Amino acid sequence: MPFTLSESDRTRHFRSFLSRSGLSRARLLKVTWLRVALGSCLVLCLLANARAAPEPDGKALQVYFVDVEGGQATLFVTPAHQSLLIDTGWPGNNGRDADRIVAAAKQAGISKIDYVLITHFHMDHGGGVPQLTDRIPVEAFIDHGVNRESTDKPTVGVWDAYQKVLATGKFKHILAKPGDSIPIRGMSVTVISSDGELISKPLPGAGQENASCKGAEQYPADQTENGRSLGTLITFGKLRLLDLGDLTHDQEMKLMCPVNKLGKIDIFIVSHHGSSQSDSAALVHGITPRVAIMDNGAKKGGYPSTWDIISKSPNLEDFWQLHYSEEGGAAHNVAAEFIANPNGPDAANYLELTAHPDGSFGIFNSRTQKTKDYPARVGSLRPHHSVG
């Protein structure tokens, strides 16, 4: 039988304990209550830290880097609660990419997307348009104009499907030209490149000679949709983010040499998933980003030569990847805490940027459930670069 104490025995032992400890009954009860309260607080704190992602900040810009397996889908949500989605991922896969975008929108607390910007008409960027519009309301589409890659059947298929969506008459359509501003409340969006054309003059504060152009390789003109990518500079307070889609080396040289038309960038959304056709040293080292974020897939993007250029950029603080690059191997991937999806089964982990008007920001890795914070820069000083 289990050993038990009678009520009288428990009372006797309790009084004996009080006598030995020197505590009054009231003092002991107070200490016991305090221990219970502290324990409850600890449990609540642990539960708060275990949430799926940071709560949207009403004064911050939220940016979700959605895992679309080597395509692109980047969702911006401003403090004014307006939204911009850059690209829609792939078609097919039972609506996988559209579902992931809608999940990000829900996380951000929005029920519609105000603007969908299609950088170009390759399958991994514009292919998900029909599936997306079947799942969430969209107000307007922005693009560079007609498809210029008319002999490539997959690209023609994406273009035709996109035209059918626009033909319904349900959506506004904006044709963007270099130098245009896209009217999104809460942040400034300037068009840098579109349909093979580029801004003709340096942006305010830019225009300095680019030392990274010395000895730079000259590249032939790209003949695909990549070189016609609709690229944008996004400014939120003091923070500057650059997304050039899949813009190619030849166009990068026109933007950066002999003078840098873009100036310094805080967050560089790596062009072309880290492909060897983009991300020249003239561009990456010229803009000297604090942080680079690469939306590569396990088997797409993240080329070793490009990885080297990005990781060696002057003053780069960190390099983040949506996927571990199988081609990169141990020598050309960042440390595990900077990768949303390591080797293994598809887990759809994402990265989330929370940006503040003073130039500070944080990056949340949904896999590790950890956020790394970056303070606002003081003047022109930048920390020495270290890649994980």
Digits of tens for pLDDT over the chain (388 positions)? 343 444 444 444 445 444 544 545 545 444 344 443 444 443 334 333 334 455 666 799 999 999 999 999 999 999 999 999 999 999 999 999 999 999 999 999 999 999 999 999 999 999 999 999 999 999 999 999 999 999 999 999 999 999 999 999 999 999 999 999 999 999 999 999 999 999 999 999 999 999 999 988 889 999 999 999 999 999 999 999 999 999 999 999 999 999 999 999 999 999 999 999 999 999 999 999 999 999 999 999 999 999 999 999 999 999 999 999 999 999 999 999 999 999 888 899 999 999 999 999 999 999 999 999 999 987 644 443 444 4
CATH of the domain at 193: 3.60.15.10
Domain-located, residue 273: yes
pLDDT tens sequence across 63-120: 999 999 999 999 999 999 999 999 999 999 999 999 999 999 999 999 999 999 999 9
Check whether residue 29 and residue 131 sit in a common domain: no
* Same domain, residue pair 278 and 333: yes
In a domain, 381, yes or no: no
Beta strands in 298-360 (DSSP E): 318-323, 339-341, 351-355
On whether both 360 and 253 belong to a single domain, the answer is: yes
Q: Which structural domain range is residue 31 located in?
A: 7-48
In a domain, 387, yes or no: no
**According to the model, what pLDDT value does residue 382 have?**
44
Q: Which residues pair with 233 in a beta bridge?
A: 190, 242
* pLDDT at 378 (0 to 100): 77
Whether 173 and 42 map to the same domain: the answer is no
Q: What is the pLDDT of residue 320?
A: 98
Q: What's the pLDDT at 46? A: 34
Are residue 38 and residue 135 in the same domain, yes or no?
no
15 falls within a domain: yes
In this predicted structure, what is the pLDDT of residue 215? 87
Residues 37, 166 share a domain? no
Phi, psi angles (nearest 5°) of residue 115: -135, 130
Asked whether residue 157 falls in the same domain as residue 241, the answer is yes
Is residue 2 domain-resident? Answer: no
Q: Answer yes or no: is 301 within a domain.
A: yes
Running DSSP on this structure, what letter comes out for residue 330?
G
In a domain, 386, yes or no: no
Domain count, the chain: 2
The answer to whether residue 28 sits within a structural domain is: yes
Residues 140 and 172 in one domain: yes
Amino acid (one-letter) located at 383: P
Quickly count: other Cβ atoms within 10 Å of residue 346's Cβ: 12
Q: Are residues 93 and 189 in the same domain?
A: yes
Contacts of 78 (CB under 8 A, 6+ apart): 61, 184, 185, 186, 187, 236
CA atoms of 176 and 296, how far apart (whole Å): 26
Same domain, 41 and 67: no
The rounded radius of gyration (Å) of the Cα atoms in the chain is: 26
Give the CB-side neighbour count of residue 65, counting CA atoms within 13 A.
32
Q: Distance between CA atoms of 352 and 103, rounded to whole angstroms?
A: 13
Q: How far apart are CA 240 and CA 234, in angstroms?
A: 6
Instruction: Please tell me the distance from the alpha carbon of residue 220 to that of residue 120, in angstroms, as a whole number.
Output: 20
Based on the domain organization, do 67 and 35 belong to the same domain? no
**18 and 141 belong to one structural domain:** no
